Amino acid sequence: MTHADHDFDDCPDRHGTGSEKWDRWEGRDVLPLWVADMDFRTPAVVLDAIRARVDHGIFGYTNDPPDFGPALAAHLAALHGWSIDPGRVVGTPGVVTGLALAARLLTRPGDGIITFTPVYPPFLSLPVRAGRRTVRVPLVQSPAAWTIDFDALEAAAAEAGTTMLWLCHPHNPTGTVFSRGDLLRIADIAMRHGVTVVSDEIWSDLVLDDAGHVPFASLDHPAAATSVTLTAPSKTWNLAGLACAAAILPTGIERDSLRKAGGGLVPMVNPLGYAAAEAAWRHGDAWRRRLVTVLARHRDMVQETVARIPGLSCVPARATYLSWIDCRGTGEDDPQARCEAAGLGPSDGRDFGTPGFIRLNNACPTTRLAEALRRLARAFSTT
Ligand SMILES: Cc1ncc(COP(=O)(O)O)c(C=O)c1O
């Protein structure tokens, strides 16, 4: 069966495929709008590249193929106007892996790693697992935006033993796109206190408004010149299971030092992941642009529903397919349980360091999202 490449409504059934998202409430009538992958099929250009790689028939140990760095460089130049040296690109089997490796390579045991909270859960747990400390700097919530408390950031950076900052940019779960001004202030603080910035830009292709993404490392600033960028095609083209991401290293960090920091625990990237990544970066932009239109419309649907439910509020995401919904005004201690009881499965804010919130993933067919939003309304209806 062939499918129109732009059809974001006709999605394959994922039951029985080992889908983390769909297995969680297996056998229950709970719509899973939690973990950050999409229910959309990856575009034909990516499928064709995977098929071509399969037809080659040999899947031996695989280094970064010759076009991996250049394909990412071309994508970043076209989309963000950022020119990188393709020779500084190194494949990793995940962005999370890249974060863990950067911590092990560039900090010492006991060091503090700053992160803005709420945040994607591995930002909280990985430093601890690596024998480092998580240093939380809460973002400040206003009706229109989540913003950085620069005094709190300065104080955290000045603490003895704080040596790294993990920036999630654009930010999961709030959908914040940090401005050039924000990034420059972060860079100034990082430089003053000898803090290395690692910028996770996995969401940077999914900016929904005109905001525009400024890569941290593209700044004309000394702190940018020593920073590490992590990115991947996995969020944008729905390739997370193919486990292929990229680190963009500053000069001074040897390419093979990153993998070595894994102490033998980190595998090479698999050849199908490379094939998919290269095709997505080289040929996936027309599909990406159509996707962004759908995701912006879905974000707006969530906003409209949230606005109608007493006690809920949500700062509109400017990037990602996630909505970070504040449920504290409902007086409900456990909004996650309330949603699940109504047949809706969001992510629980507690995992992001902030109880009282839920995160909703809108990357599913519009009809499914509409049903999910009916269930959200039912979950919090007071009648
Ligand atoms: C900010 C952020 N970084 C990293 C990841 C996961 O990346 P990977 O699957 O490449 O480890 C996610 C997935 O949701 C994410 O939101």
Domain definitions of the chain by residue range: 20-43+285-379, 48-283
Residues 333 and 337: their CA atoms lie apart, in Å, by 9
Q: Report the residue among 177, 200, 202, 228 best suited for mutation to probe ligand 1: largest number of ligand atoms under 8 A from its CB.
A: 202
Hey, what CATH class is 48-283 in? alpha beta
The pLDDT value recorded for residue 211 is 76
Q: Report the residue among 169, 172, 238 best suited for mutation to probe ligand 1: largest number of ligand atoms under 8 A from its CB.
A: 172
Q: Which residues pair with 196 in a beta bridge?
A: 164
Q: Which residue has the tokens 């409902």?
A: 330
Residues with CB under 6 A from ligand 1: 36, 94-96, 120, 168, 172, 200, 202, 232, 234, 240, 245
Q: Which residue has the tokens 């499914």?
A: 368
- Find all residues with CB under 8 Å of 225, minimum gap 6, and list them: 217, 250, 251
Which is it for the CA torsion 336, 337, 342, 343, positive or negative?
A: positive
Cβ atoms 193, 143 nearer than 8 A: no
- Atom of ligand 1 at shortest range from CA of 37: 14
CA of 77 to the centre of ligand 1 (A): 22
- Atom of ligand 1 at shortest range from CA of 234: 10
The pLDDT value recorded for residue 383 is 53
The answer to whether the predicted template modeling score (pTM) of the entire model surpasses 0.75 is yes
Can you count the helices (H) and strands (E) in the chain? 14, 15
Give the tokens for residue 296.
């912006």
* Cis-peptide into 173, omega within 30 deg: yes
Query: What do you get for the CA distance between the two ends of the chain, in Å?
Result: 46
Give the tokens for residue 227.
């920073």
Residues in the chain: 383
Closest residue by Cα to atom 13, ligand 1, is 36
Q: Which residue has the tokens 């076209």?
A: 78
Residues 57 and 309: their CA atoms lie apart, in Å, by 54
CA of 202 to the centre of ligand 1 (A): 7
Q: Provide long-range contacts, Cβ within 8 A and 24+ apart, for 252-261.
A: 252/226, 253/105, 253/106, 253/228, 255/87, 255/88, 255/90, 257/105, 258/90, 258/92, 258/98, 258/101, 258/102, 258/105, 259/90, 259/92, 259/101, 261/101, 261/102, 261/104, 261/105
Cβ atoms 205, 231 nearer than 8 A: no
What's the pLDDT tens digit per position in 267-300?
999 999 999 999 999 999 999 999 999 999 999 9
Task: Identify the architecture of domain 20-43+285-379 in CATH.
Answer: Alpha-Beta Complex (3.90)
CA of 330 to the centre of ligand 1 (A): 30
Q: Report the residue among 72, 90, 95 best suited for mutation to probe ligand 1: largest number of ligand atoms under 8 A from its CB.
A: 95
Cβ atoms 61, 268 nearer than 8 A: yes
Q: Which residues of the chain fall below pLDDT 70? A: 1-4, 6, 383
Residues 17 and 26: their CA atoms lie apart, in Å, by 12
Which is it for the CA torsion 81, 85, 88, 92, positive or negative?
A: positive
The pLDDT value recorded for residue 3 is 60
Give the tokens for residue 44.
């034909």
* Cis-peptide into 271, omega within 30 deg: no
Cβ atoms 198, 102 nearer than 8 A: yes
